[in-house]
Structure 1
Amino acid sequence: MSDEGLRLAVEKMRAAGVAPAAVEVFAGYYRDLEAGATGLIREDDITPLLDPPSLDAVEVPPTDARDALARTAIIKLNGGLGTSMGMDRAKSLLPVREGLSFLDVIARQVRTARTRYGARLPLILMNSFRTQQDSLDALAAYPDLKVGELPLDFLQNREPKLRADDLTPVSWPADPSLEWCPPGHGDLYTAIEASGVLDALLDAGFAYASVSNSDNLGAAPDPRIAGWFAESGAPYAAELCRRTAADRKGGHLAIRRSDGRLVLRDTAQTAPEEMDYFTDEHRHPYFHTNNLWFDLAALRRTLNERHGVLGLPMIRNSKTVDPTDPSSPQVIQVESAMGAAIEVFEGATAIVVPRSRFLPVKTTNDLLLLRSDAYQLSETATLDLVTEPAPLVDLDSKHYKTITAFDAHFPAGAPSLRDARSLTVHGDWTFARGVVATGDVTLADEGAPRYVPEGTHLGG
């Protein structure tokens, strides 16, 4: 390893028009990587976060809540392609309810909140170069979304994948686009500044940003949280939920022993021999929802002080250059998490929110649940659970992992799950219209493809 790899990577980024600040951030991570940095956060270096404030105990006067929401911008991370579900376009374009995509529901949430609370409430996507055009085309169906001169999106930066053997930029002539990767959602702060969106929001009189993933329809505009955040005076805040056994893979906040600051630890930052600590929902009882809030002026000030580089902890991800081809060259992607910025801002805080604020769709299991009658789409475009607790869905990954296969097995839509505790499917089962699951349902793998006839009642 030498300076040659960094020189080649920087030249490639500059030739592609990557923002200078993003090049500088990448160069810093490259030097860390070359020096052998792992990005690991050791259990001995942190103490668990045990008693964060809860939204349930917060009282916010309605006028204060409305005033705070009126100064808030909604930012959605929209760079994901849904590759884990076999997609090659924006995951947010998937139909999720009543023919509406994630972006349709988000647009309706924002428009409804504007009407209800009298707020301007701009919606701005952070797109990737792969998701931008399709997503903007979809939002064209809502011509009233744009607020003044503010854009509907800004672009996440990109960086070269590095060969694992010598840290030079990988070459892949079969598909040159696979030579690039996003820098993780920690790039939010660099991208929002480099795009000019940060200053545009400040110039337009906005004070706060509410950020979440576009596949999490639970994170609708919320005046109460906005009011709490404004009243707190904190520069930055994270939304947390109480962990269950099903949340053991989610990142969590902890307190760094050396300076008492909150830090985010993800799976990739945990040593293999310490995963028992990481997955212990009693030791670390709250997980990070990836919903966060920050003060726009505080971000502007901090970026100025740090010359555009927040210095978030590095995450080292090992992959193959073609994710679908395990025989393709091994590469390293250097990334960062946007939630890690909590350690940058003195006085940053966190708040425990209801589980309804966290409805991510990472697998077809999650998608089937949201498409089922276990949830209903309210007049305010929120997805409301109609049964407690939410049923557990576990579909055989050999037959249901990709969207194409999933849709083929549910041609008439999701079965009724509102009276189910769980639905576990082993093997190749196709569901007809009007199937109802009650209680705990398990379908066994019977070898050959099987069919659940129309109107079948399973379980109970």
Structure 2
Amino acid sequence: MSADGLARARHKMQSAGVAPTAIDVFARFYGLLESGETGTIAESDVTPLTEAPRLADLDVDEDAGRQALAQTAVIKLNGGLGTSMGMDRAKSLLRVRGDRTFLDVIAQGVLAARAATGARLPLVLMNSFRTQDDTLAALAAYPGLATDGLPLDFLQNREPKLRADDLTPVEWPADPGLEWCPPGHGDLYTALHASGTLGRLLDAGFRYASVSNSDNLGATPDARIAGWFAGTGAPFAAEVARRTPADRKGGHLVRRATDGRIVLRETAQTLPQDADAAADITKHPYFNTNNLWLDLRALADELDRTGGVLHLPLIRNDKTVDPTDASSTPVVQIESAMGAAIEVFDGAAVLEVDRSRFLPVKTTSDLLLLRSDVYRSTPEHRLVAEVPAPLVTLSGAYKTVAAFDARLPHTPSLREATSFTVDGDWTFGRDVTVTGDARLADASGTARVPDGARVGPDGVA
């Protein structure tokens, strides 16, 4: 390892104007990384989390719910570019319901919740440098959205990618932007603190925050959950949901065997030999929705105690400096998960919610489902499933949004489908209906589903 790796990384971050607190957080993780820490959580070191209170069973006083919601801010993580789907701008600007984008649905939902409850409900986005301008320009369409005295957004931090061989900051003159990476969504706490947004929220009278990803349209403001969280007195809470076969991968909650504390284990923290056990949905029944509830006073107290450096576990992410070029320089990205803060706070809580609060879009298969008639939009701008959602699997021909839109200019009806698998390259006409366990086989070259066709287990009828 290079003796001056951390010094060079510090200098690079300082020269780029990265907040001092963010540099301190990076330095802590760098020390863990240099000492050989990987952040992995062995199956032998945990026990399953098998019980959690259920939202469906809660009896929350309506007045208590309204009072808690009146002290709640809505924070959305909005730094993602949707690069896995071929996008180069904020993923939240992707059209998802008719002509409305994720950001439109979020903004309209917050405004509707304000009108229905009387709560101020500020919407604050954690943007990245690459999503901020486009996002704020889009939000200009909602002049009443901003809350007096509070920003519409704050910026997440960035950090240098490190060479895997000596942990020095990588150099990539062909595209210097690739020398940097986000620190993972665990940076939420550092960015809230360093930007001054946390202090401004508290000064404006907000005690709680509901935090979720901008691509999850299920995580809408909810007075019942706000009232439950306030009533627990917990400093931190995570919404969890029951895993299905589709959730075999991804972060899930377990208990640390040594002290019984609930911890988050992400896929990147799972040892290869533990992959089958971690994917066992009967053994580990809850996955992390990444919908969190924060007591802002408790968070401020903990950050004051630690000098702004929340002691989250490290996640080591091995990649190449150019993620599209496997032959480019191997690098290590230091990351952390915001849900991992559950182990930082004494008395942290979990709440089981149903799938209606977890509607993420990570692939174009997810996007097709949310655009379809499986869901309807309520006057409150919530998405409600009209029928059980089918499992949609699209081939690689649909991987990017541009390719997807070209092949699916008209969204087929999925209300009668139980699953829908598309192999090969098909373009869809108007008024197509998908039924049962439908499958389109791989055809030579491109193929077309004609207007008005029905697609079932045997293909196009």
Provide the secondary structure at the position in 1 that maps to 2:333.
strand
Matches within 5 A, 1:280-295: 280-295=280-295
- For residue 444 of structure 2, the aligned residue among 431, 444, 447 is 447
Provide the secondary structure at the position in 2 that maps to 1:239.
strand
Deviation at 1:166, TM superposition (A): 1.2
Match of residue 393 from structure 2: 394
Contact 2:2 2:168 (C-alpha < 8 Å) held by counterparts: no
Deviation at 1:31, TM superposition (A): 1.2
Q: Distance in 1 between matches of 2:265 and 2:174?
A: 36
Q: Distance in 2 between matches of 1:79 and 1:143?
A: 22
Match of residue 402 from structure 2: 404
* Residues 123-145 of structure 1, C-alpha deviations (whole Å, 9 max, x = no match): 00000111111111111100101
In the alignment, residue 14 of structure 2 is paired with which amino acid? R
Deviation at 1:2, TM superposition (A): 2.8
Deviation at 1:277, TM superposition (A): 1.1
Match of residue 70 from structure 2: 70
Instruction: Note if 1:416 corresponds to 2:405.
Output: no
RMSD: 0.8
Deviation at 1:45, TM superposition (A): 1.4
* Residues 378-431 of structure 1, C-alpha deviations (whole Å, 9 max, x = no match): 11101111102x11110001x0101111111012x2100011111110001000
Q: Distance in 2 between matches of 1:434 and 1:215?
A: 27
Match of residue 170 from structure 1: 170
Contact 2:433 2:454 (C-alpha < 8 Å) held by counterparts: yes
Q: Distance in 1 between matches of 2:455 and 2:342?
A: 47
Q: Distance in 1 between matches of 2:205 and 2:142?
A: 23
Deviation at 1:311, TM superposition (A): 1.2
* Residues 274-322 of structure 1, C-alpha deviations (whole Å, 9 max, x = no match): 0111100011001000000010000000011111111100000011111
Structure 1 residues without counterparts, runs of 5 or longer: none
Q: Distance in 2 between matches of 1:357 and 1:145?
A: 23
Q: Distance in 1 between matches of 2:404 and 2:450?
A: 17
Deviation at 1:175, TM superposition (A): 1.2
Match of residue 423 from structure 2: 426
Q: Distance in 2 between matches of 1:96 and 1:157?
A: 28
Matches within 5 A, 1:97-116: 97-116=97-116
TM-score, normalising length from structure 2? 0.98
Contact 2:47 2:254 (C-alpha < 8 Å) held by counterparts: yes
Q: Distance in 2 between matches of 1:442 and 1:426?
A: 8
Instruction: Note if 1:279 corresponds to 2:276.
Output: no
Provide the secondary structure at the position in 1 that maps to 2:4.
helix
Match of residue 436 from structure 1: 433
In the alignment, residue 344 of structure 1 is paired with which amino acid? V
Match of residue 244 from structure 1: 244
Match of residue 316 from structure 2: 316
**Identity among equivalent pairs (%):** 65
Q: Distance in 2 between matches of 1:148 and 1:235?
A: 26
The alignment covers a number of residue pairs equal to: 457
In the alignment, residue 418 of structure 1 is paired with which amino acid? R
Q: Distance in 2 between matches of 1:281 and 1:44?
A: 17
Q: Distance in 2 between matches of 1:406 and 1:324?
A: 20
Contact 2:90 2:130 (C-alpha < 8 Å) held by counterparts: yes
In the alignment, residue 107 of structure 1 is paired with which amino acid? A
Deviation at 1:259, TM superposition (A): 2.0
Deviation at 1:3, TM superposition (A): 2.7
Matches within 5 A, 1:118-157: 118-157=118-157
Q: Distance in 1 between matches of 2:67 and 2:58?
A: 17
* Residues 159-194 of structure 1, C-alpha deviations (whole Å, 9 max, x = no match): 000111111111111111111000000000000000
TM-score, normalising length from structure 1? 0.98
Provide the secondary structure at the position in 2 that maps to 1:307.
coil
In the alignment, residue 304 of structure 1 is paired with which amino acid? D
Q: Distance in 2 between matches of 1:162 and 1:403?
A: 31
Q: Distance in 2 between matches of 1:249 and 1:319?
A: 19
Contact 2:376 2:383 (C-alpha < 8 Å) held by counterparts: yes
Q: Distance in 1 between matches of 2:440 and 2:259?
A: 52
Match of residue 20 from structure 1: 20
Match of residue 233 from structure 1: 233
Q: Distance in 1 between matches of 2:208 and 2:294?
A: 6
Provide the secondary structure at the position in 1 that maps to 2:362.
coil
In the alignment, residue 424 of structure 2 is paired with which amino acid? G
Match of residue 206 from structure 1: 206
In the alignment, residue 14 of structure 1 is paired with which amino acid? Q
* Residues 43-97 of structure 1, C-alpha deviations (whole Å, 9 max, x = no match): 1211111011111111001111111000000000000110110111110000000
Matches within 5 A, 1:43-58: 43-58=43-58
Q: Distance in 1 between matches of 2:264 and 2:349?
A: 12
Match of residue 300 from structure 1: 300
Deviation at 1:207, TM superposition (A): 0.3
Instruction: Note if 1:222 corresponds to 2:222.
Output: yes
